[in-house]
Structure 1
Amino acid sequence: MKIQSVITGTGNYIPSVIKKNSDFINHNFLNEDGSPFEQENEVIIEKFKAITGIEERRYATDDLTTSDLGYFASKNAIEDAGIDQEEIDYIIVAHNFGEVKANSIQSDMLPSIAARIKHKLGIKNPSCVAFDILFGCPGWVQGVIQAEAFIKSGMAKKCLVIGAETLSRVVDKFDRDSMIFSDGAGATIIEAKEEVEEGILSHAVRTDTVDECYYLYYGKSYNEADTSDTSYIKMLGRKIYEYGLFNVPAAMKVALDKSGVDISEVKKIFIHQANEKMDEAIVKRFYRLFKSKVPEHIMPMSIRELGNSSVATVPTLFDLVKRGEIENHEINKGDVFIFASVGAGMSINAIVYRY
């Protein structure tokens, strides 16, 4: 009997606080050595927009935490799937920084974010197992791959996979890279279905740590006056760009080759919303591997309005397209698309899915 892992429900939570590029105009951006930039902030922000595509991003209100965002997205996904939440076998939550309260840099992961979300949902079933995964920005995609493993092994029939993050609370305001990050959550119900054509067709995953392990890391503020032991998210942008450009297309090709689907059948690529120029270059290089041109409207984008919310970007983007909220993009029955992401570790993953 053929069992497929099928996405039956999706949901997202987009925070209400809009932070525009213009809101950074009076920030005191510093170089890594603490020296000021030679350019004015207007120039820094304009260059930032040209490279990343980001015009604004969303921040959570002070009264909300990562588990709250994940809970809201989960409620939407459960309602969309039309299931009894007591039948969920696994709750898998991808995040990177745990529960960070407003105006605090301390991370709280006791209990796990997944346990907190199960608590907020009010799920009483003790056989519903809740756990977190730390896998950088590809965390939600990896959670889906784990759900697929549980379903194919017969250990689960219904899984809730969530990506949630409040990155705005772990950034160094003196670092211009702080403008990239945002908050948000996306959630998906994945169910076991018998003898159907839709569902996960294949996947590919890799982790590179010899030279690449610390391309994203925790580091001190660029403000030398800050003598505290507080650490913030830091990244080697150029290194990450080069790593992603070289390795993500290859991983996507591995997944597509394993699926047996021809490149011409791919209708959408839902790629991690990290950097608009990088994503465009990755997709272009992916098609080059097949000696094909990039089709029009193949890659929906949300980064201009939502920024980079890490693990939340791919499920949120998918939900928005599914609901018809991204202009010039839609998905139809039978469409094949690819989920792909790259992030801290460094890790890459890709899933080929038939809708």
Structure 2
Amino acid sequence: MKSKTHIYAVATGTGCCIPSVVVKNDHFVNYPFMNEDGTRIETPGEEIVEKFQQITDIRERRYAEPGQTTSDMAVIAARQALEAANFDPERLDYIIMAHNLGDIHEGSNYPDILPTLASRIKQKLGIKNHKTVCYDITFGCPGWIQAAIQANYYIKSGDAKAVLVVGGDTLSRSVDIHDRDTMIFADGAGAAIFEARESDEPVGMLKHVTRTDALEQLDMLAMGASNNPEDKNPCSYLKMKGRLVYNYALSNVPLLAKECLDINGLHLHDVKKVLIHQANAKMDEAILKRLFKLYGEKDMDMNVMPMTIDTLGNSSVATVPTLFDLIVRGKIDGHSLQSGDYVMMTSVGAGMNINAFMYKMP
């Protein structure tokens, strides 16, 4: 019997903005790092940086250019996606922009979020169509994935035929120079055009899983005061309880990833690539190892998990769409995607939120 035709959300074009400013680890050697109690860290800067690289695998990251904002980078990524899809932006039904702190301008750590960044993208793209609806979501690092999930709902319900989903952040402008976590964060943007496609067989975005843990985990990632007690700005800097975040992710992301595979009727061996939020290379490797263990696998194939964090750092919501775009365009050695390949996209971040969806390449 012939399968029933369904509507699926398919990424017809992708794009990303990788800022041109390269910041290597030695940039931080002379930073005045302090402990949370305000005492000076006496460890030599070279030793701090070396240990940081051993823990995270990050050796350099990208920062936005002076005068360049999150929405500026988002527009660059969006234009690439539109060009790749050969898509007229006037036909967009929605623009959904995922970010955390809006357009933070050079020299300021004030989060500029009014008007929405999605509306700014629409204006910068010159879209006249008043039915192109724009809004932002703030969902921590999993924001772009959650925005894609929302786009999928719009398309499957028949409310939309095309949605531009963008994710970006300029975290370098919200970090505390007295906090060693400063070295983790980076800037960037990624985008994809999702279009409706009729198909007898599943294609594009499949089923997803999302969870939020906000009772004991709420402040694992939050805005807070500087480690420097002389800085009196109370909630101006991005703060992370690194060990707690690591333990939370290690305990919960593998379980959610398996749940996502289960509801899609797939086994880990069916997956060509796992595109995980590039937060910390060692953490991501530990997550993948636990996922393999859930399937009784002692040896894991690291090639299933492409990484960019060593040169791009943690650009928050931009990491997954940037990674997807680079692979689609053949810009990551040893990694490619073909028609029929299954891809899992998953992330964890402030909220605390975790999500994942399966994607079948068209």
Counterpart of 1:90 (choices 73, 90, 94) is 94
User: Which has the larger displacement, 241-250 or 323-332?
Assistant: 323-332
1:116-195 equivalence runs, <5 A: 116-195=120-199
Counterpart of 1:280 (choices 285, 289, 292) is 285
* 1:205-260 deviation line (CA, Å, top 9, x unaligned): 00001100110011111112212445100010000000000100111111111111
Contact between 1:143 and 1:161, CA under 8 Å: does it hold in 2? Answer: yes
- Name the CA distance, whole Å, in 2 between partners of 1:33 and 1:246: 28
SS in 2 for 1:350: strand
Give TM-score, length-normalised by structure 1: 0.98
1:69 aligned partner, one-letter code: M
1:145-294 equivalence runs, <5 A: 145-195=149-199, 196-229=201-234, 231-292=236-297, 293-294=299-300
Counterpart of 1:353 (choices 340, 353, 359) is 359
Contact between 2:223 and 2:235, CA under 8 Å: does it hold in 1? Answer: no
SS in 1 for 2:304: coil
2:323 aligned partner, one-letter code: L
Residue equivalent to 2:34: 30
- The reply on whether 1:308 has 2:314 as its aligned counterpart is yes
1:299-338 equivalence runs, <5 A: 299-338=305-344
Change (3 A) 1:138 1:199: same
| Sequence identity (%) | 53
SS in 2 for 1:297: helix
Counterpart of 1:108 (choices 103, 108, 112) is 112
Q: Which runs of 5+ in 2 are unaligned?
A: none
User: Which has the larger displacement, 309-318 or 286-295?
Assistant: 286-295
Q: Which runs of 5+ in 1 are unaligned?
A: none
Cα shift at 1:63:
1.4
1:67-82 equivalence runs, <5 A: 67-82=71-86
SS in 1 for 2:219: coil
Residue equivalent to 1:60: 64
Cα shift at 1:282:
0.5
Cα shift at 1:333:
1.1
- Name the CA distance, whole Å, in 1 between partners of 2:103 and 2:164: 19
- Name the CA distance, whole Å, in 2 between partners of 1:227 and 1:347: 30
Contact between 1:181 and 1:308, CA under 8 Å: does it hold in 2? Answer: yes
SS in 1 for 2:72: helix
User: Aligned residues, how many?
Assistant: 355
Give TM-score, length-normalised by structure 2: 0.96
- Name the CA distance, whole Å, in 1 between partners of 2:97 and 2:25: 30
Contact between 1:164 and 1:311, CA under 8 Å: does it hold in 2? Answer: yes
1:253 aligned partner, one-letter code: K
Contact between 1:94 and 1:143, CA under 8 Å: does it hold in 2? Answer: yes
1:319 aligned partner, one-letter code: D
Contact between 1:105 and 1:230, CA under 8 Å: does it hold in 2? Answer: no
- Name the CA distance, whole Å, in 2 between partners of 1:337 and 1:318: 10
- Name the CA distance, whole Å, in 2 between partners of 1:94 and 1:270: 17
* 1:68-126 deviation line (CA, Å, top 9, x unaligned): 00000000001011111111111000000011100011111110000000100011111
RMSD (Å), alpha carbons? 1.0
Contact between 2:224 and 2:234, CA under 8 Å: does it hold in 1? Answer: no
User: Which has the larger displacement, 294-303 or 115-124?
Assistant: 294-303
Contact between 2:226 and 2:233, CA under 8 Å: does it hold in 1? Answer: no
1:245 aligned partner, one-letter code: L
* 1:21-72 deviation line (CA, Å, top 9, x unaligned): 0111111111111111131111111111011110000001111111100000
* 1:166-208 deviation line (CA, Å, top 9, x unaligned): 0000000110100000000000001110015421121100000
- Structure 1 runs of 4+ with >6 Å offset: none
2:21 aligned partner, one-letter code: V
- Name the CA distance, whole Å, in 2 between partners of 1:230 and 1:209: 19
Residue equivalent to 1:297: 303
SS in 2 for 1:251: helix
